Amino acid sequence: MTDLTKLSLAGALDGLRSRSFSSVELTQAFIDAIEASNDTLNAYVVKTPEKALEMAAASDKRIASGAAGALEGAPLGVKDLYCTKGVRTTACSNILGEFTPTYESTVTQQLWDRGAVMLGKLNMDEFAMGSSNETSRFGPPANPWRRSGSNQTLTPGGSSGGSAAAVASDLCLGATASDTGGSIRQPAAFTGTVGIKPTYGRASRYGMVAFASSLDQAGPIAKTVEDSAILLEAMCGHDAKDSTSLPEPVPNWRDAVHRGVEGMRIGIPKEYRVDGMPDEIEALWSQGVEWLKAQGAEIVDVSLPHTKYALPAYYIVAPAEASSNLARYDGMRYGARVSGDNLVNTYEGTRSAGFGQEVQRRLMIGTYVLSSGYYDAYYLRAQKVRTKILNDFQNAFESCDALLTPTCPSAAFAYGEKAGDPVQMYLNDIFTVTANLAGLPGISVPAALDGQGLPLGLQVIGKALDEEACFRVGGALEQAAGFVAKPDKWW
Amino acid sequence: MSVSKDDVRKVARLSRIAVSEDRLEPLANELTSIMGWIEQLNEVDVDGVEPMTSVVDATLPMRDDVVTDGNIQDQVLANAPKSDDGFFVVPKSVE
């Protein structure tokens, strides 16, 4: 039998429906692959093989009785940020101890309702704060990609590094992820996978461990653009349990993937040509323009003048909201408690032991910018700058239907290469963070290998609620790029 | 904008994070660097600009003020570091 783990999600769903193989066979293939690889890759932080086989057997019964759901029998991985009933969920932070939810997040519930099978929980930066997955309490995962001729371990990106590494190394058919400043799209670009963040409000945040509530959004990492559309359709939809969830129907995005870009106007924002960007990324961007032109799209130059203010605004808004959200971790009702000689010492000891250095830094920044007398100067000003950034996009979208940009200013880097200077690490998100601040959908599609043999991604940003444009352009780029490279298996 | 050791001490206390004395100086330097980089927002003219709330116009939905959940004491206490007789056990908070 061929290696079932190499299938795309769409291919696997076809095979399951035509009874070429069972979900139990498919699931066992992934369990075996995880068993053989995970000690090296560290993509999964919790493995749930018994639960997976149980779910797979139930799927096989439903397939046999003609009651198959949209994802029936498909084994997926879940970022450790999603609460999963009865399965430890810690957002890769020590402060959550052995926290085991007694309820299920809406997004994962929707996957199981459609027949998906859970393989386990995936590694991530602690509380999704990071761009390299180095801040996880379980240690970093390894990117299955390496530079040609080198055996140095590279980061799969972050914060959804485990999701990206697992999809790229065929340890699941697809994975849930989440994106606050680029945490779906940057890891996808670093691992040759596809990642999409939908419009803010498309997917419910209920049961997702909160980082920055006005920016956090769920989305998938997948092997192909079509797979990402299948998963996103299953993940989205209105949920009364999240007051920011939009009461909008979920379109048929899968159909949009192969619709082509004939007649679409694609904007190229000049401010995304940043100093120090490698020539290869500049060249790939131009190549992307040519690919879309050749398929009948019209290219339009646009300007997003407030782009340079996006990251500084983000580093006010995100830490401020995090400092508020993470106030709940006091060691009283759940998580690990470190007892002190009085209540304040207990709080301080618990939080000092439970939060890692990067989380502590961001909580202090957030507390600082929200502290008495500073609210207007920092948080309120940053929220006004967000309005200016959104206005930039709205002006640009008067002359185009979607924007094409690189996903990241570099390919995957090695651990430690950027750890010294927090601002250098933050700059990784320069092309992705604008879509979070403005609430817009963005997709990253693998488009080429650089000179060192590492994948590079192109990003498509759409109008609010126009994920369809992301899928059309993403599908066109995927087809033109013909990106089929896989990392050489060393793990 | 320079963040002093005293600022860090105060912010750490407000954040309820114990920070050892020898960490104050390095943290002050890091925060000064980050806050200095953030200062560039002062270049943006935000006069008359409304702060952003949502990309899609949406009004906060209202719901009936009724009990829709409950009687799950075991679940509420399931992850407690310390519980007894149906209650959370916490340190003494009133002297």
Q: What is the pLDDT of residue A1?
A: 53
Does the beta carbon of B31 lie under 8 angstroms from any beta carbon of chain A?
Answer: yes
Question: What's the CATH number where A351 sits?
Answer: 3.90.1300.10
Distance from CA of B86 to the nearest CA of A (A): 12
Q: Do B58 and A382 touch (CB under 8 A)?
A: no
Instruction: Give the model confidence (pLDDT) of A244-274 as tens digits.
Output: 999 999 999 999 999 999 999 999 999 999 8
Mean pLDDT along residues A447-471: 97
For residue A200, give the chain B residue with the closest CA.
B55
Which of A122, A113, A117 minimizes the C-alpha distance to A74?
A117
Instruction: Give the model confidence (pLDDT) of A372-397 as tens digits.
Output: 899 999 999 999 999 999 999 999 99
In the predicted structure, residue A180 carries a pLDDT above the cut 90: yes
Q: What is the pLDDT of residue A420?
A: 67
Q: How confident is the model at residue B80 (pLDDT cuts 50, 70, 90)?
A: very high
Does the beta carbon of B14 lie under 8 angstroms from any beta carbon of chain A?
Answer: yes
A6 is catalytic: no
How many Å apart are CA A453 and CA A380, to the nearest integer? 44
Contacts of B58 in chain A (CB under 8 A): 201, 244, 246
Q: What is the pLDDT of residue A419?
A: 67
Q: What's the mean pLDDT when you consider all of chain A?
A: 96
Mean pLDDT along residues A31-54: 98
Q: How confident is the model at residue A276 (pLDDT cuts 50, 70, 90)?
A: confident
Number of folded domains that form chain A:
1
DSSP A150: -
Does the beta carbon of B62 lie under 8 angstroms from any beta carbon of chain A?
Answer: no
In the predicted structure, residue A426 carries a pLDDT above the cut 90: no
DSSP string for residues in B27-50: HHHHHHHHHHHHGGGGGS--TTPP
DSSP A302: E
Instruction: Give the model confidence (pLDDT) of A280-312 as tens digits.
Output: 999 999 999 999 999 999 999 999 999 999 999
Q: Which domain holds residue A150?
A: 1-491
User: In terms of residues, how long is chain B?
Assistant: 95
Q: How confident is the model at residue A68 (pLDDT cuts 50, 70, 90)?
A: very high
The sheet carrying A75-79 orders its strands as A44-47, A117-122, A75-79, A174-179, A217-222, A194-197, A442-449, A455-462, A402-406, A265-269, A298-302
How many Å apart are CA B15 and CA A325, to the nearest integer? 12
> Tokens at residue A327, please?
């106030």
In the predicted structure, residue A427 carries a pLDDT above the cut 90: no
For residue A384, what are the CA distances in angstroms to A307, A373, B55? Answer: 14, 18, 13
Nearest Cβ partner for A439 among B15, B54, B76: B54
Instruction: Give the model confidence (pLDDT) of A29-39 as tens digits.
Output: 999 999 999 99
Residues forming a β-bridge with A442: A197, A461
Does the beta carbon of B68 lie under 8 angstroms from any beta carbon of chain A?
Answer: no
Residue with the larger pLDDT of the pair A420 and A140: A140
For residue B79, give the chain A residue with the closest CA.
A334
Parse chain B into domains and list their residue ranges.
5-42
Distance of CA A410 to the CA centre of its chain: 17
**Most A CBs within 10 Å, among B9, B20, B38, to test the A interface:** B38
Q: Which residue has the tokens 């963070």?
A: A433
How many Å apart are CA A185 and CA A158, to the nearest integer? 9
> Tokens at residue B16, please?
């309820």
Q: What is the pLDDT of residue B93?
A: 82
A79 is catalytic: yes
A with B: how many residue pairs have Cβ under 8 Å apart?
162
Contacts of B40 in chain A (CB under 8 A): 308-309, 312
Contacts of A246 in chain B (CB under 8 A): 56, 58
Distance from CA of A347 to the nearest CA of B (A): 6
